Amino acid sequence: MREINHFIDGKSFTGKTGRFGDIFNPNTGEVQARVQFADESELSRAVEGAKKGQRVWAAMNPQRRARVLMTYKTLVEAEMDELAHLLSTEHGKVIADSKGDIIRGLEVIEFACGVPHLMKGEYTESAGPGIDVYSMRQPLGVVAGISPFNFPAMIPMWFMGMALATGNAMVLKPSEKDPSVPVRLAELWMEAGLPEGVLQIVHGDKQAVDALLTHEDVKAVSFVGSSAIAHYIARTCTEQGKRFQAMGGAKNHGIIMPDADMDQVVNDFLGAAYGSAGERCMALPVAVPVGKDTANEFVSRMKDEAQKLRIGVSTDPDAHYGPVVTAAHKQRVEDYITLGVEEGADMLLDGRGFKLQGHENGFFIGPTLFDNVKPGMKTYEEEIFGPVLQVVRAGNLEEAAHLPSDHQYGNGVAIFTRNGLAAREFAAKVQVGMVGINVPIPVPVAYHSFGGWKRSAFTDTNQYGTEGIRFFTKIKTVTQRWPSGDIGDQAFVIPTMG
């Protein structure tokens, strides 16, 4: 059976703990590989190697580091098809979604190529008599990234692009559910010219995570995952005196106004609610139609169109979405569907028990649709993370806007309308970190930044963009004065070559 090793000091590293995790093929339900789990000693070895590599890497000027990033981007693009196939066979998302996963990560790498400009400091001449003041941004040293299973290419590249461009070394702990793509991405970094040790990949479970969080030489931690773990990481890093980004879960709402383009709305919800089997923190699992007529039309059309979705294996070019990542996650989502019925929501489509012919043991769930979901229901308050769309009816925009604002999560929200004033007022007042106006999944472009509010983000620094540059650097400010005196005419001679 294929075994996935750690990646330490520029090469594959075989662990000695004897602890492993199973890697499933979600399309068949079979175990296709196993991944090594590190202990504290192996994690410490990775950190030590990162410290050595970081000194070499940080000594390079920003332009040379940027050239490595440019080469890396080219190498990943050349291997797009192979990476997407590898990603799909471990995660389960269809090839088109896997390519999107990689492309969105590369956009952050592309942004980070501008690091010579992004790391420039500030300068004030004559801040006092003969005194100049200037500041500079410097790397933190060794930093850590902990990435989730649902974007095994994009989110590691969010971390890598920002951390490496700014001169840090990174120890990445990818998800143990689909770790092969992060390892291959690390190998491509070496081909691009990254010095040994600057990027280390260590696999594992909570034991490896805790070792990262408590290691004295790890100066900062960037995490994306569930809110419970994000909160744990925030608390632990605070106790350890570490800088942290801790992004959690979501329950994103889509407000549908009576004047919305219903063709666009239905099409957008099909992709945003059911795409990638709903395993996206920026999915749109809650529809909030305003007014009875709007709700009735949306529900009727959504039910008809969702039944036409093609569920298939991840390599099926005609499939709209594939399986979820593991049998345990499939059971979790189906338990939420059962709970939704018990709570009194109206089930219009039931995805439980879906079987794909020839792949009956795969982790597939059919599209599920609930109407008349109410705030307070557990299925509404919690993140389901599967192909389940819930409809919460609202009488007016004020009532609709309160739903995402009052919810425990505040990652993303969307409003569908032709009314510019209503959209403007909504965007200004809603208590959510990322807002889409006629855009169902408002993930910002790489030169802005990604971040939610409330239990969606236990941090005050967003991912990537200029926020990412700030997170992975520290400012040093120098106040200087040079003594006056007779230094002769030589000081004013223009130097010449020769």
pLDDT at 444: 92
Name the residue ranges covered by the structural domains of the chain. 2-248+457-479, 253-437
CB 276 within 8 A of CB 283: yes
Catalytic positions: 281
Q: Order across the sheet with 11-13: list the strands.
A: 11-13, 6-8, 199-201, 169-173, 142-146, 218-224, 243-247
Give 452-470 as a 3 state SS string: CEECCECCCCCECHHHHHH
Helix extents (H) in 60-141: 62-78, 80-91, 95-112, 115-118
- How would CATH label the architecture of 253-437? 3-Layer(aba) Sandwich (3.40)
| Measured distance CA(109)–CA(107) in Å, rounded | 5
Task: Report residue 11 as tokens.
Answer: 């090469």
pLDDT at 494: 61
Task: With a cut of 70, list the residues of the chain below it in pLDDT.
Answer: 485-498
Task: Report residue 409 as tokens.
Answer: 């999560």
- Contacts of residue 232, defined as CB under 8 A and 6 or more positions apart, other chains included, come to none
| Measured distance CA(182)–CA(5) in Å, rounded | 11
CB 279 within 8 A of CB 385: yes
> Which of 187, 179, 204 lies closest to 75 in space, CA to CA?
187
Is the domain defined by 2-248+457-479 classed in CATH 3.40.605.10?
yes
- Residue 310: other Cβ atoms inside 10 A: 10
> Which of 298, 264, 270 lies closest to 400 in space, CA to CA?
298
pLDDT at 496: 64
CB 250 within 8 A of CB 456: yes
pLDDT at 343: 97
Residues in the chain: 498
Beta strand spans in 335-407 (E):
346-349, 368-371, 388-391
pLDDT at 483: 84
> Which of 410, 139, 360 lies closest to 249 in space, CA to CA?
410
Which pairs count as long-range contacts for 122-131, CB under 8 Å and 24+ apart, including other chains? 127/479, 128/481, 130/481, 130/482, 130/484, 131/479, 131/480, 131/481
pLDDT at 484: 79
Q: Is the pTM of this model over 0.85?
A: yes
